[in-house]
């Protein structure tokens, strides 16, 4: 099981900077997912910036979320 997000910061270009429970800080590029209907609301940059950590993952006010494993495995370490 991969570590869970504990903090999130929205960045430009639909990127999330995520700190995980193991201390890793990684960047997740959400653009690859925005064409799926479940993620259409995130195409609004203002809405995208409303992300928060809740229930061990990154969520938005409408209930949209990403699987924490996806966030970890599909992200790159921040150096």
Find out whether 15 and 78 touch, Cβ atoms under 8 Å.
no
**pLDDT, tens digit, 9 for 90 and up, residues 55-78:** 999 999 999 999 999 999 999 999
Greater model confidence, 2 or 77: 77
CA torsion, ordered 25, 26, 27, 30, to nearest 10 deg = -120
Distance (Å, rounded) from C-alpha 36 to C-alpha 54? 22
Record the pTM: 0.94
Question: Is 90 exceeded by the pLDDT of residue 1?
Answer: no
Q: Which residues pair with 26 in a beta bridge?
A: 18, 77
């Amino acid at each position: 099981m991969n570590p869970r997000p504990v903090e999130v910061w929205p960045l430009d270009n639909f990127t999330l900077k995520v700190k995980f429970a193991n201390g890793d800080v990684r960047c997740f590029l959400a653009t690859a997912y925005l064409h799926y209907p479940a993620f259409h609301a995130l195409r609004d940059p203002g809405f995208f910036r409303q992300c928060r950590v809740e229930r061990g993952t990154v969520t938005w006010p409408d209930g949209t979320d990403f699987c924490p494993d996806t966030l970890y495995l599909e992200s790159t370490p921040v150096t």
